[in-house]
Amino acid sequence: MAVLVESHATLGDAQRALGSDGTYLGGGTLVMREVNAGALQGRILRTSDPALRQIRPSLDSVEIGAGVTMAMILAERDLAHLHPVARAVGGPQVRVMATVGGNLFAVHPYGDLTVALLALGARVVSAGGAQRPIEDFLRERDRTGLVATVQVPRPREPRGFAFLKVSRVKPKGVSVLSVAAHLPRDGGRLRGVRIAFGAMGPTPLRAQAAERVLEGSALTPDLIARAAAAATDGLDPPTDALASAWYRREVAGVHLRRLLERML
Ligand SMILES: Cc1cc2nc3c(=O)[nH]c(=O)nc-3n(C[C@H](O)[C@H](O)[C@H](O)COP(=O)(O)OP(=O)(O)OC[C@H]3O[C@@H](n4cnc5c(N)ncnc54)[C@H](O)[C@@H]3O)c2cc1C
């Protein structure tokens, strides 16, 4: 069967034309790999809708179009807190193509940016205008339709957000696991803690047991040790070619501790 590429003027037009047999093309780093391997055929839909490439900062959040690439994030001063995350996605050739929208749908071992967006408490806005918290989006992503933008809260303090990716191959390897933490402070105490892991389940997931340990307290080495001990409670990491579930459980707390120590 041949591949038929359809270009649409807007994301809304692409959404209406998608049907159950169409595949949307973002930057194509994953879709075109499947096409080239002969694993994906049929209708492929794309759009050059300029709205998808916009980054709109406001006082306490930044709205990022789904077609914004990792390279565009790296060029945007208002997204400086996401630079270490965007830099961790593939090599330079991947980063000029790989989009925010595609990352939201990328399955393990990919999706590093999505881990950061989950920790920051982003909201995902679909082509029809519906908005949902990113954890709801991740639970339903097979049936959410096309994504237009993500609204990403800005961390209030310079050390309020941190990200760490663990890979065997440096600097471009895929994640054995990744972890991001958002620790807003109120009068010296942590309020609204969010910690997210990649590669610890079928989609990026929050480490809610570790969050509960930190919530409402001042960040200290002792508290960090207790949060690290709870890192994988309630999580069910996979075994794959990169690492076993046992290994991921063993090292997740170590990496969470190192990440949180950077935020002291
Ligand atoms: C060599 C290589 C290295 C990589 N390394 C990493 C890495 O280190 N970390 C990482 O996270 N990823 C990595 N990736 C995976 C990938 O490049 C990224 O996850 C990227 O962000 C995917 O975006 P894309 O625009 O290329 O997606 P595409 O290939 O265009 O699409 C991927 C999926 O998302 C869907 N999609 C895309 N945009 C939208 C939208 N707006 N609305 C709804 N659905 C949409 C597509 O239909 C498709 O199902 C790598 C890929 C390659 C080839």
pLDDT attached to residue 74: 98
Shared domain for 123 and 171, answered yes or no, is: no
Domain with 122 in it: 51-153
Shared domain for 241 and 211, answered yes or no, is: yes
Shared domain for 72 and 127, answered yes or no, is: yes
Shared domain for 72 and 135, answered yes or no, is: yes
Shared domain for 177 and 118, answered yes or no, is: no
Shared domain for 66 and 135, answered yes or no, is: yes
pLDDT attached to residue 172: 82
> Cβ atoms within 10 A of the Cβ of 241, count?
6
Burial of 13 (C-beta count, 10 Å sphere; 0-12/13-18/19+): middle
In this structure, which residue's CA is closest to atom 19 in ligand 1? 103
User: pTM score, two decimals?
Assistant: 0.98
Shared domain for 254 and 170, answered yes or no, is: yes
Question: For residue 172, which atom of ligand 1 is closest to its CA?
Answer: 8
The Å distance, Cα 146 to ligand 1 centre, comes to: 14
Burial of 155 (C-beta count, 10 Å sphere; 0-12/13-18/19+): middle
Encode the chain (264 residues) as per-residue pLDDT tens digits: 689 999 999 999 999 999 999 999 999 999 999 999 999 999 999 999 999 999 999 999 999 999 999 999 999 999 999 999 999 999 999 999 999 999 999 999 999 999 999 999 999 999 999 999 999 999 999 999 999 999 999 999 989 999 999 999 888 889 999 999 999 999 999 999 999 999 999 999 999 999 999 999 999 999 999 999 999 999 999 999 999 999 999 999 999 999 999 999
At residue 8, what are phi and psi to the nearest 5 degrees?
A: -120, 150
Which residue out of 34, 49, 99 has the highest number of ligand 1 atoms within 8 Å of its CB and is therefore the one to mutate? Answer: 99
Q: Identify the residues whose C-beta falls under 6 Å from ligand 1.
A: 23-31, 33, 66, 89-90, 94, 97-99, 101-103, 105-106, 110-113, 146-147, 174
Report the domain count for the chain: 3
List the CATH number of the domain containing 75: 3.30.465.10
DSSP annotation string for 116-178: HHHHHT-EEEETTS-EEEHHHHHHHGGGS--EEEEEEEPPSSTTSEEEEEEESSTTTPPEEEE
Which residue, 104, 136, 153, sits at the end of a domain? 153
Shared domain for 63 and 137, answered yes or no, is: yes
Shared domain for 217 and 133, answered yes or no, is: no
Which residue, 128, 153, 178, sits at the end of a domain? 153
Closest CA to 11 of 60, 67, 63: 67
Question: For residue 113, which atom of ligand 1 is closest to its CA?
Answer: 11
Shared domain for 170 and 242, answered yes or no, is: yes
Rounded-to-integer distance, Cα 229 and Cα 209, Å: 9
Rounded-to-integer distance, Cα 125 and Cα 76, Å: 21
The Å distance, Cα 73 to ligand 1 centre, comes to: 15
Which residue, 153, 188, 220, sits at the end of a domain? 153
Question: For residue 32, which atom of ligand 1 is closest to its CA?
Answer: 29
Shared domain for 219 and 232, answered yes or no, is: yes
The backbone region for 262, taken as left when phi is positive above 0, alpha when psi lies in -120 to 50, beta otherwise, is alpha
In this structure, which residue's CA is closest to atom 39 in ligand 1? 101
Closest CA to 31 of 100, 91, 106, 85: 106
The Å distance, Cα 150 to ligand 1 centre, comes to: 15
Shared domain for 89 and 143, answered yes or no, is: yes
Question: For residue 147, which atom of ligand 1 is closest to its CA?
Answer: 42
Structure tokens at 37: 């391997």
At residue 139, what are phi and psi to the nearest 5 degrees?
A: -70, -30
